[in-house]
């Protein structure tokens, strides 16, 4: 799932857990992906990109047993929550739950669109995912963009934030369409470069969501009762 729509998940969590820091929630939703970048760069996990890359269907996450397995994501989420609770006590319990949910949300959302490349646990034989990225990339983009818009609506975000989510969705169309090529072929065979591009995208997206999410729409005030 796109970085913008993972980050948008933090908006729902912020609405539910107001005491949780928004930027911390945004980082939590992308924590699994930061781990993926690091493990790809050092060679522990492996991504293969077709030499003639035309769309996300040509990106194959062939080996990511640690960053994106359901079990490891759950363990990271629980450990992060326990660490926050241990440092802050009962007063930090809501923040701990919010951060844990943010971390675990990443793999849950990825299961909705990924090719079957997500394991239940490291080195578990079975891998899961709906296969939308490999078979129906444009519907996958539509689905995840709807999720981002839903998060914005729940949060009552600003119009700037809506524009950001919408614009980044449209800007991603070439990556999800084999018929439109605006330079993604340059990444063909460049798995490490691809991981770095994803890293830069996450940092930029997280910063923009945090910046624009500080403004929110408030419900229109009720009119004063008419005096008799």
Q: How confident is the model at residue 220 (pLDDT cuts 50, 70, 90)?
A: very low
Q: Look at residue 224 in the predicted model and tell me its pLDDT.
A: 44
Give every CB contact of residue 8 below 8 A, 6+ residues apart in sequence: 147, 148, 151, 152, 165, 209
Average of pLDDT values for 72-92? 94
Q: Look at residue 214 in the predicted model and tell me its pLDDT.
A: 85
For the entire predicted model, the pTM comes to: 0.90
Residue 84 CA to residue 107 CA, distance in Å, equals 21
222 falls within a domain: no
Q: What is the mean pLDDT of the chain?
A: 91
In this predicted structure, the answer to whether residue 2 has a pLDDT above a threshold of 80 is yes
223 falls within a domain: no
103 falls within a domain: yes
pLDDT digits (tens, 9 = 90+) for 154-190: 999 999 999 999 999 999 999 999 888 777 788 888 9
For the chain, what is the domain count? 1
224 falls within a domain: no
187 falls within a domain: yes
Residue 145 CA to residue 172 CA, distance in Å, equals 10
179 compared with 195, residue with greater pLDDT: 195
Average of pLDDT values for 24-46? 96
Query: b/e for 77-108, b at 16 or more Cβ within 10 A?
Result: beebbeebbeeeeeebebbbbbbbbbbbbbbe
Average of pLDDT values for 117-138? 92
Contact predicate 169/4, CB 8 Å: yes
In this predicted structure, the answer to whether residue 87 has a pLDDT above a threshold of 80 is yes
Range of the domain at 15: 3-212
Alpha-carbon distances, residue 170 vs 138, 139, 219 (angstroms): 11, 13, 29
Alpha-carbon distances, residue 212 vs 51, 88, 161, 201, 220 (angstroms): 37, 28, 5, 16, 20
217 falls within a domain: no
**At which residue do the structure tokens 């992906």 appear?**
33
In this predicted structure, the answer to whether residue 79 has a pLDDT above a threshold of 80 is yes
In this predicted structure, the answer to whether residue 90 has a pLDDT above a threshold of 60 is yes
* Residue 216: HSE in the Cβ half-sphere, 13 Å Cα cutoff: 16
Contact predicate 44/186, CB 8 Å: no
131 falls within a domain: yes
Q: Is 59 helix (H, G, I), strand (E, B) or coil?
A: strand
172 falls within a domain: yes
In this predicted structure, the answer to whether residue 86 has a pLDDT above a threshold of 90 is yes
């Amino acid at each position: 799932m796109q970085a913008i729509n993972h980050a948008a998940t933090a908006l729902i969590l912020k609405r539910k857990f107001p005491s949780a820091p928004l930027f911390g929630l945004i980082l939590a939703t992308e924590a699994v992906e930061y781990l993926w970048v690091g493990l790809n760069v050092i060679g522990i996990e492996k991504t293969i990109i077709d030499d003639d890359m035309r769309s996300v269907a040509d990106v194959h996450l062939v080996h990511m047993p640690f960053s994106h397995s359901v079990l490891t994501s759950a363990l990271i989420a629980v450990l992060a929550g326990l660490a926050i609770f241990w440092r802050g006590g009962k007063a930090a319990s809501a923040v701990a739950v919010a951060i844990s949910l943010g971390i675990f949300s990443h793999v849950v959302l990825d299961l909705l669109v990924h090719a079957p490349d997500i394991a239940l646990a490291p080195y578990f034989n079975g891998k899961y995912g709906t296969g939308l990225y490999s078979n129906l990339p444009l519907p996958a983009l539509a689905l995840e963009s709807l999720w981002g818009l839903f998060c914005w609506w729940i949060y009552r975000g600003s119009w700037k934030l809506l524009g950001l989510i919408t614009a980044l969705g449209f800007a991603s169309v070439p990556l999800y369409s084999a018929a439109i090529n605006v330079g993604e072929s340059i990444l063909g065979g460049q798995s490490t470069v691809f991981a770095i591009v994803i890293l830069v995208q996450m940092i930029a997206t997280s910063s923009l969501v945090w910046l624009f999410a500080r403004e929110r729409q408030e419900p229109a005030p009720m009119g004063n009762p008419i005096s008799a």
